[in-house]
Amino acid sequence: MRVITGSRRGKKLKTLEALDTRPTTDMVKEAVFSAIQFDVAGSQVLDLFAGSGQMGIEALSRDASHCVFVDNNPAAVQVIKENISDCKFVTESRVLNMDSLDYLKVAKGQFDIVLLDPPYGKGLIEKALAGLDAHLSDRAIVVCEHEKELELGEEYGRLRKHKRYKYGKIAVTIFKIPTEEE
């Protein structure tokens, strides 16, 4: 697992050796960041269910200004901290060891990009989408990685489904807050 592009291009990242953590493949990561590439620079990012932190780190490598990483697994949080330190993104990062849905109940600030990749088959992605609205900037984009069989709703609060992509057993659904032109 590595950073694909940006200031830390090629940097190897540690991963969590656990059955409930599945790192995003380079192909999916490349596709996600191709889809949102013009929105990353200067953005405030939230990486919920962060795992190894690779998606948030990729955003930072592509000039996001700050990323909050949230995961409830202490071992995952340790890996995230090591990856952030190895990539020298400590000052641009905040790492929280807590339940992602609980974080949404107490979060402050507005996020421009939210990365969601929860454990599959537990209804967590829908709950997270339902709890995000108050924490989104007016230009927010939410990227959801999930099993391809899952069909997410068309809207959650101000978010509207923008695109859906399939990659083998995985699907990526992108939601946006529409602008006045859209």
User: Residue 6 falls within a domain, yes or no?
Assistant: no
Over the stretch 100-129, which tens digit does the pLDDT of each residue have?
999 999 998 899 999 999 998 899 999 999
User: Residue 56 falls within a domain, yes or no?
Assistant: yes
What domain range includes position 44? 26-132
User: Residue 3 falls within a domain, yes or no?
Assistant: no
The number of domains in the chain is 1
Of 150, 147, 108, nearest to 28 by C-alpha is 147
Mean pLDDT of 149-159: 95
User: Residue 140 falls within a domain, yes or no?
Assistant: no
Mean pLDDT of 33-46: 94
Q: How much is the mean pLDDT over the chain? A: 91
CA distance 29 to 67: 17
Domain with 128 in it: what CATH number?
3.40.50.150
Q: What share of the chain is helix, strand, coil (3-state, %, to 5)?
A: 30, 30, 40
pLDDT > 70: what percent of the chain? Answer: 95
**pLDDT band at residue 168 using 50, 70 and 90 as cut-offs:** confident
